[in-house]
Amino acid sequence: MNNLGKFTIGIFLTLGVAWLAFVVGARSQYGDLSPTSQSLEEDGSVPADADLFPKGFSGLAKQGAEEYASLGCVSCHTQQVRRVEAGFDVERGWGKRPSAPRDYVLQDHLLLGNSRIGPDLANIGMRGYSDEWLHQHLFQPQSLVPASICPPSPFLYQSSDEPGERSIRSPVSSDEASLQFLRPSLRAVRLVAYLQALRQDYELPEVAFVESKEKESDASSETVEETAPDASFPDWLSLQIEQGKEVYMKAAAGGGMCFTCHQVNGSGLEGQFPPLAGSDWVLGDKSRLIKIMIHGLMGEIEVNGVKYNNVMAPPGIPPGSLSDDEIANVLTYVRNAWGNSASAVSSDEVAAVRLSLKGRAPMQMFTSSELTQPAQ
């Protein structure tokens, strides 16, 4: 301890051993990972014509990674799905499988993060958010997710009264008269390209998709439910009903996830969620239903003489993301399933209602009294 030279060698030796393990050792263990196919041949080789994963980012997305780092998004968002036994990440729907070291080999700039004040973003591109939704969220997260504490980034956008090329609707426009538009800057475009490119939607030889509970419930629903659309329907109507049913049952991006509350057989849940089968609302005025589908519904509502009080966010994953077609189809389905029989809903009708609601903020839900009042 008294000889400075020996002391220095000693303390560098202890540090050096750890350095050998975590820096040199880890590098020689997996520093040369390369993209591979989703599954390997029996002899461990990559099939000749297989697609290789992970795919590299586009140039725009790579620039987006730099913007992401520069703005400091990494201080609240991780980009890693933990192993099933080490956390709840897969259960929360943040990924179909745990992340593996190989997922990151083509990224120049690793932004795994270490803190989750915001949700994990390893698979944000897989969750079906539209570019417009992401832009609106970057501009002002609270307009889409009211409870969010993600800071708005208005400096990435230019506001204007006139819609221009590539401009999007401002999420803070309150009514039709003061409709605002946003022109995303190049930086915002890069950022959204990067977010959309974050997806681990392939399997790797070392890690397969986790069987999700959602799939199990899907499978069980298949057996409970009476299926085949009535043969007496014309082809276009059966097609619409079939597609509508898909939306009703789908609990992933592009779906409505309706069955989770209204149940597979449209019965609802006593005291909590109103039934759709035989419901006076479902079989009644179409425009009311379309309004609910676009903006959601909250507060007390009386269905078939029974009162319910709950909140229905605008359906879709993410909320309010269903297209006119999807809304038309799913409404047509619920109006013609489980013994219901009412006229079909067309996407034009949905578009017309949507236009009439143009000024309304996306998350401003309807109340039943608002819907039952005579139109002004």
Partner 1 sequence: MNQDSPDKQIDRSAKFVFCFFISSAGLWLLAAAFFAYLSVAKLTDPFFLSTCEFLTYGKVKAAQVNAFVYGWGGNAIFAVSLWILARLAQAEVRGSIFLIVAGVIWNLAITFGVLGILDGHMSGHEMLEMPTEVWPAMLVSYLVILFFSLVLHRSRSTRETIAPQWFVLAALLWFPALFLIAWNGMELDVARGTLQTVLSMWYGQNLIWLWLTPVALGAAYYLIPAILGRTIDKYYLAIFGFWCIAALAPWSVVHHLEGGPFPMWIPAIGTVMSIAMVFPIAVASTNFHSTAFSDLSKVWSSLPLRFVIFGTLSYTVSSYIGVVFSLPDVAKITQFTIINEFHFNQRVYGFFSMIIFGVVYHALPKITGREIPLVAKSFHFWTSTAGVLLLLLSYLIGGLTHGVLAGQPALPWASSVIDSLQPYFLITKFAFVLLGFSQLVFVLNLWKVIFPNPFACCRSMVKEVDA
Q: Is 71 in the site for partner 1 (CB under 8 A)?
A: yes
Closest approach of Cβ 26 to partner 1, in Å? 6
Verify binding: residue 188, partner 1, rule CB under 8 A.
Answer: no
Check binding of 112 to partner 1 (CB under 8 A): yes
Two tokens, residue 294: 């676009």
- From the number of C-beta atoms within 10 Å of its C-beta (0-12, 13-18, 19+), residue 229 rates as middle
DSSP for 16-80?
A: HHHHIIIIIIHHHHHTT---B-SS--TTSPPPTTPPPBSPPPPHHHHHHHHHHHHHTGGGT----
Q: Of 94 and 338, which has the nearer Cβ to partner 1?
A: 94
228 binds partner 1 (CB under 8 A): no
Q: Which residues contact 321 (CB under 8 A, 6 or more apart)?
A: 128, 129, 130, 133, 254
Q: Pick the binder of partner 1 from 36, 64, 111, 328 (CB under 8 A).
A: 111
Which residues ranging from 6 to 65 are in contact with partner 1 (CB under 8 A)? 7-8, 10-12, 14-15, 17-19, 21-23, 26-27, 29-33
Whichever of 1 and 48 has its CB closer to partner 1, that residue is 1
Binding to partner 1 by residue 284, rule CB under 8 A?
no
Specify the pairing of strand 297-303 against strand 366-367: parallel
SS3 287: helix
Tell me: does residue 117 bind partner 1 (CB under 8 A).
yes
324 CB-side CA count, 13 A: 11
**How many residues sit in the footprint of partner 1 (CB under 8 A)?**
77
Judged by CB under 8 A, the stretch of 41-49, 117-125, 126-134, 223-231 that binds partner 1 is: 117-125
> By CB under 8 A, is residue 160 in contact with partner 1?
no
How is residue 122 written in tokens? 């390893």
CB closer to partner 1 out of 52 and 69: 69
CB nearer to partner 1: give 99 or 136: 99
Distance between CA 135 and CA 185 in Å, rounded? Answer: 10
Q: Is 104 in the site for partner 1 (CB under 8 A)?
A: yes
